[in-house]
Amino acid sequence: MCQRNEHSGQALSDEIVREVVFRVQRYSPGQDRPVTREYRVPVTRGMTVLDGLHYIRDNLDATLSYRFSCRMGVCGSCGMYINSFPRLACQTQILELNSDLVDVRPMPNYPVVKDLVPDLSQLFAKHREVQPFIIRNEQELEHPTAEFLQKPEELLRYLQFTYCIKCGLCLTACPTVATDPRYLGPQALAQSYRYCADTRDAGAEGRLRIAAGRDGVWRCHLAGACSEACPKGVDPALGIQLLKRLAVLRALSLKKPHSPAPVAGKRTGVERRPGIPQPPPPTVESR
């Protein structure tokens, strides 16, 4: 016998494997400080932390607040601090935590709206600051003469950085963000490189000026925690290092007036560090 979870659409076994304790941090605006509450949740195979929160809300405490949407690791809405590590609640299976205690807190480095709901306003503000869109000549945009063509090998230069879902987990893990709220952070900087490396774009000069500023790439100490936390294998720490290289090349070109502007070249000899998730396989093969 199987039942289907009404929230996730996932088929779950009726058999309860064990009971775990959810220790959830609760906070409401106006409270002096957060408090923790414990709930006992019966766990079946395949249950995720998000399923456990649904159980608490539906059966134990209807006042619990948290954010979710797609329930399949695509929207990035359910980012939380689960057992002392940034994770997506919908991708984290309770039994795989190998613990009878599931500690759930809102993501650090963000203001808390209520309970497990963080305020992501700064994440999106920093994302907008790096101009995360294709910049071209206005006349060409208004009166296009041809398509913006791109070769498969040119796409591969930045493809892995397009997998970012803006969940914000990388900023939660970043030690620099924890001490400097003005720092642009790994999400915005990796996306800055993504567009600088796009051969259809002509706005790298402006982005590199922002990236090389006081709150940009030089604040990164390469802890690599952002890449370990990324659920999509984007490896923002790598994106920041590649952006640093472009910023240096831009500075050198400014000293030589006739030097060409820096262009993101094909990456070679870059090995992913152990423990960093792999991105999904490319959908376009290089020829």
CATH code for the domain of 84: 3.10.20.30
- 134/240 same-domain check: yes
pLDDT bin (cut points 50, 70, 90) of residue 13 is low
Residues 151 and 185 in one domain: yes
Residue at 203 is within a domain: yes
Q: What is the mean predicted confidence (pLDDT) over 20-32?
A: 93
Q: Model confidence at 2, in pLDDT bands (50, 70, 90)?
A: very low
Q: Grade residue 129 by pLDDT with cuts at 50, 70 and 90.
A: very high
Does residue 223 lie within any of the structural domains? yes
* 243 and 132 both lie in a single domain: yes
Q: Within a domain: residue 286? A: no
Q: Which of 66, 95, 118 is the last residue of a domain?
A: 118
Asked if pLDDT for residue 4 goes beyond 70, the answer is no
What does the alpha-carbon distance between residue 160 and residue 137 come to, in Å, rounded to a whole number? 26
Residues 136, 106 share a domain = no
Residue 132 placed within a domain: yes
129 plus 232 within the same structural domain: yes
CA distance 139 to 148: 14
Query: Which range has the worst mean pLDDT, 5-14, 34-43, 119-128, 179-188?
Result: 5-14
Here the CATH number for the domain that contains residue 140 is 1.10.1060.10
Q: In the structure, what pLDDT confidence band is assigned to residue 146 with cuts at 50, 70 and 90?
A: confident
The DSSP 8-state label assigned to residue 48 in this structure reads: B
* Among 108-122, 129-143, 245-259, the least confident range: 245-259
Q: What was the pLDDT predicted at 287?
A: 42
Please check the confidence at residue 153 and state whether its pLDDT lies above 70.
yes
Domain assignment of residue 265, yes or no:
no
Contact 92, 113 (CB under 8 A): no
Which pLDDT tens digit goes with each residue over 226-284? 999 999 999 999 999 999 999 999 888 877 665 555 667 655 444 555 666 666 665 54
State how far the Cα of 72 lies from the Cα of 77, in Å rounded to an integer: 10
Single out the residue in 96, 118, 140 at which a domain terminates.
118
State pTM to two decimals: 0.83
Whether the pLDDT of residue 5 is over 80: the answer is no
In this structure, the answer to whether residues 248 and 163 fall within a common structural domain is yes
Is 241 found in the same domain as 138? yes
Domain count, the chain: 2
**Confidence (pLDDT) at 279:** 62
Confidence category of residue 87, pLDDT binned at 50, 70, 90:
very high
pLDDT band at 11 (very low <50, low <70, confident <90, very high): very low
Cβ contact 103:83 at 8 Å = yes
- Let me know whether 157 and 94 are in one domain: no
283 falls within a domain: no
In this prediction, residue 254 carries a pLDDT of 78
Looking at the fold, whether 139 and 244 belong to one and the same domain comes out as yes
The answer as to whether 235 is a domain residue is: yes
Q: Which residue in 244, 287, 247, 238 sits closest to 267, CA to CA?
A: 238
The pLDDT of residue 142 is 80
pLDDT at 10 over 60: no
Containing domain of residue 76, as a range? 15-118
Is residue 168 domain-resident? yes
**CA dihedral sign of residues 241, 230, 203, 122:** negative
The pLDDT value given to residue 286: 44
Same domain for 165 and 208? yes
What DSSP designation does 258 have? Answer: T
Picking from 18-22, 140-144, 150-154, which range would have the lowest pLDDT averaged per residue? 140-144
Two tokens at 249? 């090349």
Shared domain check, 104 and 150 = no
- Across the range 30-46, mean pLDDT stands at 94
Whether residue 188 is found in the same domain as residue 63: no
Percent of all residues in the chain with a pLDDT value above 70, rounded to a whole number: 84
End of a domain among 54, 85, 118?
Answer: 118
